[in-house]
Structure 1
Amino acid sequence: MKICVFCSANNQIDPEFFALTEELGKWAVENGHTIVYGGVNQGLMECLAKATKGAGGHTIGVVPMKVEESGRMSDYVDVEIPCDNLTDRKQLMMDQSDVFIALPGGLGTLDEVFTVAASATIGYHHKSVILYNMGGCWNQLIALLNDLQQKGMIRGEWQQYIKTADSLEEISRLI
């Protein structure tokens, strides 16, 4: 299975997130999965790729031109899929992947999560996004989604498109 991972490219975040991200990379390899990711050499992205490669796994980096031009592409990318911009990147990631896991991240990660979920709601695909709720990092987003659901802003149940998991065991069950 190809698992696309959305996550932070920031190095200045909780060290626990790095440890759990490393475990995810190793888990993916142990279970025969390929990692699709943004291809950046910083933050959780680099941690994930390094752990995946270190365990003998395979990575696919979907790398925007600006990332490559700025010298921020990871050395742990096995297959590079170049793209023009972030919109292209999201589409290529959706095309390449079977399921999506969102680790802690910022605006880019949120953009990716909601692009994939919104595309699923109108039938472009039937793939889920899993919020890996490391250390409760997604608690406020989950509360917001529940609030929007309660107010009738979301048709159906948001959990049809966005799943939540607090552990690798829960991720295993969801995929």
Structure 2
Amino acid sequence: MAAICVFCASSRTLDQRWLDLAAEAGAEIARRGHTLVSGGGCVGMMGAVADGARTAGGPTLGVIPQALVDLEVADLASDDLLVTAGMADRKTLMIDKSDAFLTLPGGLGTLDELFEVWTTATLTMHAKPMVLVDADGFYRPLLDWLATLADRNFLKPAGLSLLTVVDSIPAALDTLESHLT
């Protein structure tokens, strides 16, 4: 099956509903027979998505920079934990090791990862499917702003259409799987 990379928040101060969403994503990835690729952290949504995948019997691959290992936030329970020199190396390795990308709610780091994978797709550096889960309208303001970029010719409509937006985990996995076959 596929290696599905999940980008999401690693904050320790999130509402339980976001942790539950991440755990649901990990479990659904595992139930469908896929491997979870994550940022290799054990905290916040990142920890919850990996725990969800493992609880449902799925394999996990974490990719984490040494600086975060030093802060003792590495997912040491990961089936495979790859340690990189820095954040840029981490993103490159996550992209290389993944067949598809699923973005959950998150902050700057999550947006950085999403935009990296999306930008490289618009440059035809890869053709891997990308899905954004807009749970409870979390990303609506960003999506509205991105639409104005396209309206003003700063973003080609074809580039905008490379990212599929859904509102649930099952819809996200259905979409990714439809593009992987």
The TM-score range, normalised by the shorter chain, is over 0.9
Give the secondary-structure state (helix, strand or coil) at the position aligned to 1:124. coil
Q: Per-residue displacement from partner, 1:7-66 (whole Å, max 9, x unpaired)?
A: 100121232111121111111111001000011111000111111111111100001010
Counterpart CA distance in 2 for 1:66 and 1:147 is 37
Counterpart CA distance in 2 for 1:78 and 1:53 is 9
The answer to whether the 8 Å contact 2:28/2:170 transfers is no
Counterpart CA distance in 1 for 2:58 and 2:170 is 20
Give the secondary-structure state (helix, strand or coil) at the position aligned to 1:80. strand
Aligned to 2:154: 153
Where structure 2 has 5 or more consecutive residues not aligned to the other structure, the ranges are 177-181
Identical counterparts, % of pairs:
33
Aligned to 1:42: 43
Aligned to 1:116: 117
RMSD over aligned Cα atoms: 1.2
Aligned to 1:82: 83
Aligned to 2:141: 140
Aligned to 2:179: none
The answer to whether the 8 Å contact 1:117/1:128 transfers is no
Aligned to 1:105: 106
Q: Shift in Å at residue 164 of structure 1?
A: 0.6
Structure 1 runs of 4+ aligned residues shifted over 6 Å read none
Number of residue-to-residue matches in the alignment:
175
**What letter is aligned with 1:95?**
D
Aligned to 1:94: 95
Q: Shift in Å at residue 76 of structure 1?
A: 2.7
Counterpart CA distance in 2 for 1:14 and 1:121 is 34
Give the secondary-structure state (helix, strand or coil) at the position aligned to 1:17. helix
Q: Per-residue displacement from partner, 1:44-98 (whole Å, max 9, x unpaired)?
A: 0011111111111110000101011111101331101111111001110010001
Give the secondary-structure state (helix, strand or coil) at the position aligned to 1:157. helix
Give the secondary-structure state (helix, strand or coil) at the position aligned to 1:125. coil
Aligned to 1:72: 73
Give the secondary-structure state (helix, strand or coil) at the position aligned to 2:63. strand
The answer to whether the 8 Å contact 1:41/1:73 transfers is yes
The answer to whether the 8 Å contact 2:29/2:173 transfers is no
Q: Per-residue displacement from partner, 1:96-120 (whole Å, max 9, x unpaired)?
A: 0011111111111111111101101
The answer to whether the 8 Å contact 1:128/1:162 transfers is yes
Counterpart CA distance in 1 for 2:104 and 2:15 is 12
**What letter is aligned with 2:49?**
L
Where structure 1 has 5 or more consecutive residues not aligned to the other structure, the ranges are none
The answer to whether the 8 Å contact 2:75/2:81 transfers is no
